[in-house]
Homo-oligomer: A and B are copies of this chain.
Amino acid sequence: MTGQVRTVDGRVAGRRGQETRQKLLDCLREMLSTSPYRDVKVIDVARMAGTSPATFYQYFPDVEGAVLEIAEEMAEDSVGLKELVEGKSWAGKTGFATSEEVVDGFLAFWRKNDAILRVVTLGAAEGDKRFFKIRMKVLNSVVAPLTEAVRNNQGKTDKTVDPAAIAGALVSLLASAAEHQKAFTSWGVKVKDLKPNLALQVYLGVAGKKPPK
């Protein structure tokens, strides 16, 4: 399927090698969530994994290369987010419940992977195609089905709105809110109130009208 795991110099990795490799990835993950990306050093990751820097370079070209690995794994996970939207009803109260579940699921996913997503977001913003692609995969798992939902609801009544633009904007908003939740609390929005408010925005965007009380 994905081909064999290979070292930088072309050897195929066996059981033990894969374990080491994985340990390095795990430690890098940990490292990313505790120190600024700029300060993550190969030597620290290696030390934490109880191995030497030379070993790190056997499996990854550099820190960025290893980060991409982690990011790709996460992007693979993200396809599960599709199910938050696909085949769900947007009518009346059920619709609002759908909206709440989308917000909840998306925020939870982002929170769980916040460290790696920060780096992906940075890389994408800096114009790195590999990171951009990964970020799109994550966002698309929600944007794609959500675009359909918009098209099937308010989209057909109002020709002036672009379903893709609406869906994209909503998911961008969710991503931003997840990454910078503290900003909202600093604006006086209670943590408990954030999700309902986001859910409201999503419902409004999809259904084109206020939810039933």
Question: Taking beta carbons and an 8 Å cutoff, which residues of A are in contact with B?
Answer: 36-38, 63-64, 114, 118, 121-126, 128, 132, 135-136, 139, 143, 147, 158, 160-162, 164-169, 172-173, 175-177, 179-180, 182-184, 186-189, 193-194, 197-198, 200-201, 204-205, 210, 213
Contact = CB atoms under 8 A, between A and B. Distances in A.
Contact of A118 (B126, B160, B166, B167): B126
Nearest to A204: B204
A210 B160 CA distance: 11
Please name the 10 residue pairs, one residue from A and one from B, whose CB atoms are nearest each other, closest first: A165-B197, A172-B176, A176-B176, A168-B187, A173-B173, A165-B189, A164-B187, A118-B125, A164-B188, A122-B122
Contacts of A200: 160-161
A167 to B, nearest CB: 8
A168 B143 contact: no
Contact of A183 (B114, B172, B179, B188): B172
Contacts of A201: 166, 169, 205
Contacts of A198: 169
Contacts of A147: 187
8 contacts: A36-B126, A37-B38, A37-B126, A124-B183, A136-B183, A165-B194, A168-B183, A172-B177
Nearest to A179: B125
Residue in A122, A161, A182 whose Cβ sees the most chain B Cβ within 10 Å = A122
B37 A122 contact: yes
A73 to B, nearest CB: 20
Nearest to A173: B173
A213 B26 CA distance: 55
A23 to B, nearest CB: 23
Contacts of A38: 37-38, 63-64
Contacts of A37: 37-38, 122, 126
A205 to B, nearest CB: 8
